[in-house]
Amino acid sequence: MSNPSRVIRSSNVLLLLTGYQMHWFDAKQQRYRISLPGVVNVFVLACVYAGCFAQHFQPSALLKTLQDVSPFLYGLTRLQLLLSIKVFSYAIYASVRAVGVASALTASLPLKSPPGHRHVKKELFAYGLLCSTFVVLLCFGLYIGYELEFKLPPLKDIMVGSALFVPHLVLAGALRFYCIFAWLARERLQQLQAEVDELLTIGQMRTEMQLVAGASSVSIAATPSTVDSLLSQCEQLQQLAANFGNFFDSLEHSLLLLLGINANCLLFGLYAFVYYSSTWYVLFDDRRQRIFYAGNASIYACIGCDYLCLLLAQTLLEQQVGIASNDLRDIWHGSKPKKQNNWNSGFKLVWLFFLQSIQFSERLSTALGQRTVLPKRMRRIAKDMRAILSNCFRFKFLSIWRFDVANFALLQLLQLLIIALIVIYHYLDDAIQLTNERFDSNNDE
């Protein structure tokens, strides 16, 4: 049996261990409550981070070598350190704020699903969204450990790296927190769509029967109970939209900070890769070269795991909208919807809840297009629900940039373009300086 509360509890345990949350999810009351172990864990993690942070201002052979080899990379490291201390502090504050809003969201969600193989696959997919980055990171860590013969580097070097990594790990919890609750919201939207679809079908059938039987069959028209049920679904949709909108608002700054710190990591990784592949590799033996390439690749792999579902969403969104439109057309023509044989049936956009809102909106638009089928009051409620789906689920970062798959993909492309231009500029500038030095040396001779 698939149990959404089990998914929330699993994400809660993971986020507690990574230091993003200090609250424990109470499944009975469907709310987050402050947890003493969580507070102690965050305090210990903060102390460890403070010690690692201080190592960046102590004599270190690693940092001295980095500064001598590339002042630009050393500057990026300092920038990452500056961002990290702000990120670590803000992530804790934002987590406390987010769990309060999440409690209001979980209180309005049915956290139990009926048994079935399909629900189990959805739950496994949710676990994949939650743990995929850690699995990739573990694989790279094991490979690097193997190349190092499982011998730990010097403690100072570990602490220098931890000062850069720990805040990133904590802040990435915001992304996983958002994914899980978007998955829950998508499940709730699917339930509401099924319930509304049933009510609209009942209203359609009764109105058609009334038109066929004549004006004398007034009792066949939509009953008050049907209209009240549809109105109740509209209120629940409004509540879901308001709660998830508040949840997004509580996390938007964390997601933006994560985008910024990821961009700095990508710039560091790409710059180091270009220079290492062209010149620095001669300073290392084969084993350390493999270690470098594995560590460098882990940057792109881990960040890519966080963004993979958004990139996949664009294709699945268009496909799912087409499937939903065909099914609804079959329903309104009185035939049974054709069974879809999709290769991605187990990987439908589980956490991208706005996919379900688009299907929901499409269903309402189809119903509203049948002007002689639905009673006027039901049509008004359906219009209200369509307006909620069209307006309340359109989130924006800082009330400026709309958050959807297309805009997110464009932002990533823009970031990669800027990073590539910076790396090319520095590489060409260094090449020009090297050429000038050679000319000056030849003139002196």
| 3-class SS of residue 116 | coil
pLDDT at 140 over 90: yes
pLDDT at 393 over 80: no
Bridge-based pairing of strands 31-34 and 23-26 is antiparallel
pLDDT at 78 over 70: yes
Maximum pairwise Cα distance, the chain: 111
Res 320: pLDDT: 35
Whether 372 maps to a domain, the answer reads: yes
Hey, what amino acid is at 33?
R
Domain that holds residue 288: 4-439
Whether 13 maps to a domain, the answer reads: yes
pLDDT, tens only, 313-335: 444 433 433 333 343 344 334 44
Minimum mean pLDDT among 37-46, 184-193, 213-222: which range? 213-222
| pTM reported for the whole predicted model | 0.81
Whether 445 maps to a domain, the answer reads: no
Whether 344 maps to a domain, the answer reads: yes
- Give the number of domains in the chain: 1
Structure tokens at 329: 């057309």
Whether 194 maps to a domain, the answer reads: yes
Res 328: pLDDT: 33
Distance between CA 45 and CA 177 in Å, rounded?
Answer: 19
Q: Which secondary structure element, helix H or strand E, spans residue 401, and what is its range?
A: strand 401-402
Nearest residue to 182 (alpha-carbon basis) of 412, 321, 31, 11: 11
| Percent of the chain surpassing pLDDT 70 | 76
Whether 212 maps to a domain, the answer reads: yes
| Percent of the chain surpassing pLDDT 90 | 22
Res 301: pLDDT: 92
Nearest residue to 154 (alpha-carbon basis) of 86, 63, 42, 239: 63
Whether 444 maps to a domain, the answer reads: no
Phi, then psi, of 415 in degrees rounded to 5: -60, -45
263, 419 in Cβ contact below 8 A?
A: yes
